């Protein structure tokens, strides 16, 4: 069993650094949430792209990150700068992503083939810019503090900001679409709104971590493929990553299903913002609870508890009747409570894994570990909408354009219901036996 060793006492990070670092999660929340929530629906029900093709359009650009993210991690490992190794990359991503995100929703509306191609290309460019920020951002905690308890505190701030960002983007984006009149104009207005969140969060993190120390200079080892193989040999990393990706897949399916479930099952398109608020808002309130669980029972136990809560509550949603927004709301709050822990605990455990690998190997590979991590997370969240798109296509879902209203077959309505409830529950449930095998002693 590998242990995270005790380390000499060092000055703690200031509250300003905690808050500054956390700001970046508002940007990552916006980009991680809005495409998964609205892009598939935008393609099928605004641009008229077939569900199967739309699923591929959402998946393919983010699948590129599987190769890109580890490369960015390795390159940022080698970066020498008075700003530290990570912040120059974060700045580049923070400057490039906001305008690229607007372009995703600024393309032609017809024909569907041209519209889908525009979205695929611009989304690929946006995903590339996002990787330049996200990978170094996730690597920072392993370098700016070597205290596992402080990492948990840092992650609690980050996940609280993540919840705020998801709430602002996830609930605000559909509301902006509605306020702007829907259709392509509404989605373009939404993209501008989200771009402001991206710029504020990402550039805020660059400025907010300017006084953070770099306790360890990270250097990658040789060729990228060799380094990836070495990272994968870390059993705690391998187990944690596998479980986290399966969970990301389930979350991706659920997020993509929100607008379909709101319209087709609850019969109220505006309910999407309410459901998303119910999913995310609890995180701000329950984060202190999960932090206490972390300190008393451990991060692994907290992750298993939060995952179980998510799976049970999501499965119960399948029994909500048509038009049952009032019945769905409290169950979604429970889902959101579990979701908060599923976000916090893995992010707090990853720096522990990186530190343990340094002890075992004598090398520091934070950039490569986080590059593989973010690539896998991005792929999971991207495969989720793709999986839902494939499920809808098999069920005969009928795509439409603009404000056109079409009758869906019963099989498609069943697919929408299962895609928002049972499928995410089963995926998260499947991750629990994997995560139960995680073993890494945590320093007190």
Do residues 145 and 214 touch, judged by C-beta distance below 8 A?
no
Q: pLDDT digits over 328-378, tens only?
A: 999 999 999 998 889 888 888 888 888 787 777 666 666 667 767 776 777
Do residues 317 and 333 touch, judged by C-beta distance below 8 A?
no
Do residues 236 and 2 touch, judged by C-beta distance below 8 A?
yes
- 86: Cβ contacts below 8 Å, ≥ 6 apart: 76, 79, 136, 137, 139, 140, 143
Phi, psi of 3, rounded to the nearest 5 degrees: -115, 145
Do residues 366 and 354 touch, judged by C-beta distance below 8 A?
yes
Task: Please tell me the predicted confidence (pLDDT) of residue 364.
Answer: 62
Dist CA 127 CA 130 (whole Å): 5
**pLDDT 10s per residue in the chain (444 long)?**
444 444 444 546 677 777 888 899 899 889 988 887 889 889 988 899 988 888 888 887 767 777 787 788 777 777 777 777 788 899 999 999 999 999 999 989 889 899 999 999 999 999 899 989 988 888 777 677 666 666 667 777 777 787 788 778 877 888 899 889 888 999 999 999 999 999 999 999 988 887 766 665 544 444 556 656 766 778 888 899 999 999 989 988 998 888 889 888 988 877 877 887 787 777 667 877 888 888 889 899 999 999 999 999 999 999 999 988 889 999 999 999 998 889 888 888 888 888 787 777 666 666 667 767 776 777 777 788 888 888 998 999 888 776 666 788 889 899 999 999 999 999 999 999 999 999 875 443
Task: Please tell me the predicted confidence (pLDDT) of residue 222.
Answer: 42
Dist CA 279 CA 285 (whole Å): 12
Dist CA 17 CA 212 (whole Å): 6
Q: Is the pTM above the cut of 0.75?
A: no
List, in order of start, the domains of the chain with CATH numbers.
Answer: 17-435 (1.20.1250.20)
Phi, psi of 47, rounded to the nearest 5 degrees: -95, -10
Q: Residue 301: name the closest of 434, 428, 148, 436 by CA.
A: 436
Do residues 236 and 358 touch, judged by C-beta distance below 8 A?
no
Structure tokens at 281: 């808002």
Dist CA 415 CA 199 (whole Å): 36
Q: Residue 44: name the closest of 383, 390, 394, 400 by CA.
A: 400
Q: Residue 339: name the closest of 374, 306, 372 by CA.
A: 306
Task: Please tell me the predicted confidence (pLDDT) of residue 271.
Answer: 81
């Amino acid at each position: 069993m590998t242990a995270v060793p005790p380390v000499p006492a060092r000055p703690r990070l200031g509250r300003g650094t905690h808050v500054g670092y956390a700001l970046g999660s508002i940007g990552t929340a916006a980009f991680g949430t809005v495409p998964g929530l609205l892009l598939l629906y935008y393609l099928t029900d605004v641009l008229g792209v077939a569900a199967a093709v739309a699923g591929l359009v959402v998946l393919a650009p983010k699948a590129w990150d599987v190769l890109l993210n580890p490369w960015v991690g390795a390159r940022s490992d080698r970066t020498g700068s008075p700003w530290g190794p990570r912040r120059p990359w974060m700045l580049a991503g923070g400057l490039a992503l906001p305008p690229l995100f607007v372009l995703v929703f600024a393309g032609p509306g017809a024909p569907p083939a041209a519209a889908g191609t525009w979205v695929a290309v611009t989304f690929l460019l946006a995903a590339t810019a996002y990787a330049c920020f996200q990978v170094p951002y996730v690597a920072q905690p392993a370098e700016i503090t070597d205290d596992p308890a402080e990492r948990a505190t840092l992650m609690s701030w980050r996940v609280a900001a993540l919840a705020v960002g998801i709430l602002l983007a996830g609930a605000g984006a559909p509301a902006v679409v509605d306020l702007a009149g829907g259709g392509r104009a509404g989605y373009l207005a939404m993209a501008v709104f989200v771009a402001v969140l991206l710029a504020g969060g990402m550039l805020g993190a660059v400025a907010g971590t300017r006084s953070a120390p770099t306790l360890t200079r990270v250097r990658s080892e040789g060729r990228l493929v060799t380094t990836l193989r070495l990272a994968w040999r870390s059993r705690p990393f391998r187990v944690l990553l596998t479980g986290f990706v399966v969970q990301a897949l389930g979350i991706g399916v659920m997020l993509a299903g929100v607008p379909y479930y709101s319209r087709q099952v609850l019969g109220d398109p505006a309910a999407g913002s309410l459901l998303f608020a119910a999913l995310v808002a609890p995180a701000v309130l329950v984060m202190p609870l999960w932090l206490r669980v972390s300190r008393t029972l451990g991060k692994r136990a907290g992750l298993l508890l939060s995952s179980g809560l998510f799976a049970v509550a999501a499965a119960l949603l399948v029994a909500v009747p048509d038009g049952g927004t009032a019945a769905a709301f409290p169950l979604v709050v429970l889902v959101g409570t579990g979701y908060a822990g599923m976000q916090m605990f893995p992010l707090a455990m990853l720096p522990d894994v990186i530190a343990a690998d340094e002890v075992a190997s004598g090398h520091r590979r934070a950039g490569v570990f986080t590059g593989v991590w973010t690539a896998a997370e991005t792929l999971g969240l991207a495969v989720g909408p793709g999986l839902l798109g494939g499920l809808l296509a098999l069920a005969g879902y009928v795509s439409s354009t603009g404000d056109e209203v079409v009758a869906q077959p019963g099989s498609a309505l069943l697919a929408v219901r299962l895609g928002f409830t049972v499928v995410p529950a089963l995926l998260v449930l499947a991750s629990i036996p994997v995560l139960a095998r995680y073993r890494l002693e945590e320093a007190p």
